Structure 1
Amino acid sequence: MYEKDSCINLRVRFPLRRCIIQSLLKSDLALKLVACDINPRTLGLHLAHRGYIVPPVHQEEQYLKQLSNIIEKENINAIFVASSKEISFFSNHKAQIEENTGARVFVNPPGVLEICCDKWHTVNFLKEQGFYFPRTLRYPEDWEQIDAFIEAVHFPIIVKPRRGAGSQDLYTVNSLNELNSLITGKKDIVLQQYLPGDLGEFTTGICTGAKGNVLSGITLKRYLQDGMTIAADFDDFTEITNYCKEVARVLKPYGPCNFQSRLLEGKPYIFEINPRFSSSTGMRSLLGVNEAEILLRSEILGQKILEPPILKCSVIRQYTDYLVSTEQIMKLKKENFCINHSEEN
């Protein structure tokens, strides 16, 4: 499947995840990248070798039909999902796509998504499996337990939605009056024990194969702005990485999975698991852990993955502006397809 023209053809759904394409472009493998999006001004369409405009994912029948046509036309071997809005679609249709097209879909199964995409389910998974977890209540379901909860964990308390990522609608409250004012009339909220950040916050990327075997792991101490990692340090965080590997072996994700943690009494407490490629994928690639390439080598080429040397460095994120041909954007709008100059290089 991957031997034709000595290339592996990839499809990357690309809203804000140029880090996946850029990681693959840095690979030593001979790759042809095919990106799809609904918007012709999405950068990934112009960084990849070929770009396609597709229907929005909620139009499932049309989306799946066009996706299948692209896979067949481009002889695609592997599919990376970079949009959180599409993870459920690909998870639910993974078996169908792989059986009908032969393309491998790097996405987590529905059971893993159910655990990771709901913070209440995440906490209960950690608790049931004997891992460290922040004490957590649901609101409004567990409101009668609030007095005992506050007495046990004390203020401040974290308030956030059960579903969602980043810092959107995340609050740190310091009093009962502030808490009442914030959550009155709301639902699907969790109240969570505050984990001190004086020792930093850590993001651990664990990449796993189809049989649940851990292919790579790296922990970065991250620095946040508006919920996004703007800088990160790599150092000897082996204990945190090994701990997250143990969690992953029980969780059994497939492909990329990111564990967010802080230290409490010297132990890593995971407070969020993101079952997807993250914004720090590019940072890890720069340091020597190219998760997208690792998946190709292991799951498509059948290669044994050796532990890569990791640079003991810091990474600083800075947004970059790109020049794109207006003519090419118009071509995408008109024809829903473009071939980029990068394919000729």
Structure 2
Amino acid sequence: MDKIKVLITGSGSLYGVAVIRALLASQLNLKLVACDMEARALGLHLAHSAYLVPAAQYETAYLERLLDILIKEDIQAVFIASSKELHFFSKYKAEIEAKTKAKIFTNSPEVLNTCDDKWYTIRFLQENNFYFPLTIRFPEDAEQLCSFIKKVNFPVIIKPRRGTGSKGLCKIENFTGLRTLLKGQKDMIIQQYLPDHQGEYTTGICAGKNGKILSGITLKRYLHDGMTVSADSTGYTEITAYCQKVAAVLKPYGPCNFQLRLREGKPFIFEINPRFSSTTGMRFLLGVNEAEIMLKAELLNQAIPEFKIKKCSVIRQYADYLVPTEQLEQLENKSCCIFQPG
């Protein structure tokens, strides 16, 4: 089999490194090319070739640099490992694929907009008769605040409509705290609190063309500052099956993550992220290699068998890597590739 050339963008992110590690462990014959804004992004030094690129917000410059890399390296598939690049690739997907041989694994603008805005996420769940936490907007629904609190009781959750992780999220216990935190705010939601005594779960669904479900795995998360630091994979098949039903309606393309808690034994989704996640590496260790799955299904047209998920716990600990200083200097001075065996 000829080498499959794969580009991983945003390679310095937690899930960028996870994607590269997962693909390095694949039995497929691959050449991995990484790009990032910073020479000290670890993924650049794990891949076979590396490039510095402008920030995606400078669309014209980034697109020009990206096309140069894709053509020079004869790239066949692109994995996006930076949440800040998702809308760029969705916008330019057709143009990039027309000008290169690369297949871009990205979602439609409609899916991204539904998931980026937590209010739109709740509306999607409600309109399709899935479980969801009761939610109102602020300041748009300010007149409903008292009746909303009467219905759900304290505590409640307030958080920005857009954002990642736990940034801006607060658990509020009374009206005094609620009014103080909402003063002067906009683009917020106020949400029914979902008890955490049964834990919090993340379900990863990988989907191919037309939303075809390729894999699914649910992990019980143990969090610190909004980040998964440990996870269990034992069981949870009913949660996975439920999220597969949600994904079948949403029709994401590639990896998609559903964050949820249980209420009265039912899975209440409160966030959907249509991208790789901080648990991508954990899933790979447990037997679900989402990047490899996408290459097999979407590039090689191979059937994807049912996965045997390891019944284990994963504990995350950060590791230190040695990188030759000459590699850093080469990238900083030339913004060009480092050739490593592969």
TM exceeding 0.5: yes
Match for residue 7 of structure 2 among 7, 11, 34: 11
Query: Which 10-residue stretch deviates more, 13-22 or 221-230?
Result: 13-22
> What's the TM-score, normalizing by structure 2?
0.98
Structure 2 Cα separation of the partners of residues 192 and 269 of structure 1: 12
Letter in 2 for 1:27: S
Structure 2 Cα separation of the partners of residues 268 and 297 of structure 1: 31
User: Would you say the 8 A contact 2:206–2:256 is kept in 1?
Assistant: yes
5+ residue gaps, structure 1: none
What RMSD over aligned residues (CA atoms) do the two structures have, in Å?
Answer: 0.9
Partner of 1:250: 249
User: Would you say the 8 A contact 1:106–1:255 is kept in 2?
Assistant: yes
Find the residue that maps to 1:247 and give its secondary structure.
helix
Letter in 2 for 1:15: G
Query: Which 10-residue stretch deviates more, 332-341 or 33-42?
Result: 332-341
Q: CA deviation at 1:100?
A: 1.4
Structure 2 Cα separation of the partners of residues 57 and 48 of structure 1: 21
Structure 1 Cα separation of the partners of residues 337 and 95 of structure 2: 27
Q: CA deviation at 1:55?
A: 1.3
Structure 2 Cα separation of the partners of residues 303 and 85 of structure 1: 31
Q: CA deviation at 1:69?
A: 1.1
Find the residue that maps to 2:275 and give its secondary structure.
coil
Find the residue that maps to 1:339 and give its secondary structure.
coil
Q: How big is each residue's C-alpha offset from its partner over 1:192-244, in whole Å with a ceiling of 9 and x where there is no partner? A: 00001100100000000022100000000000001100000001111100000
Q: CA deviation at 1:68?
A: 0.9
Structure 2 Cα separation of the partners of residues 340 and 319 of structure 1: 26
Structure 2 Cα separation of the partners of residues 102 and 243 of structure 1: 36
User: Would you say the 8 A contact 1:46–1:340 is kept in 2?
Assistant: no
Letter in 2 for 1:11: L
Q: How big is each residue's C-alpha offset from its partner over 1:155-186, in whole Å with a ceiling of 9 and x where there is no partner? A: 00001000011111110000000000111001
Letter in 2 for 1:238: T
Partner of 1:220: 219
Q: CA deviation at 1:102?
A: 2.3
Partner of 1:130: 129
Q: CA deviation at 1:342?
A: 4.1
Q: Equivalent residues in 2 for 1:36-51 (5 A)?
A: 36-51=35-50
Partner of 1:116: 115
Partner of 1:269: 268
Q: CA deviation at 1:256?
A: 0.8
Structure 2 Cα separation of the partners of residues 295 and 281 of structure 1: 13
Q: Equivalent residues in 2 for 1:1-345 (5 A)?
A: 6-13=2-9, 14-16=11-13, 17-343=16-342
> What's the TM-score, normalizing by structure 1?
0.97
User: Would you say the 8 A contact 1:24–1:292 is kept in 2?
Assistant: yes
Q: CA deviation at 1:340?
A: 4.2
5+ residue gaps, structure 2: none
User: Would you say the 8 A contact 1:328–1:338 is kept in 2?
Assistant: no
Letter in 1 for 2:237: T
Q: How big is each residue's C-alpha offset from its partner over 1:280-322, in whole Å with a ceiling of 9 and x where there is no partner? A: 0000000000000000000000000001111000000000111
Find the residue that maps to 2:211 and give its secondary structure.
coil
Find the residue that maps to 1:32 and give its secondary structure.
strand
Find the residue that maps to 1:68 and give its secondary structure.
helix
Letter in 1 for 2:269: I
Aligned length: 339
Structure 1 Cα separation of the partners of residues 193 and 4 of structure 2: 46
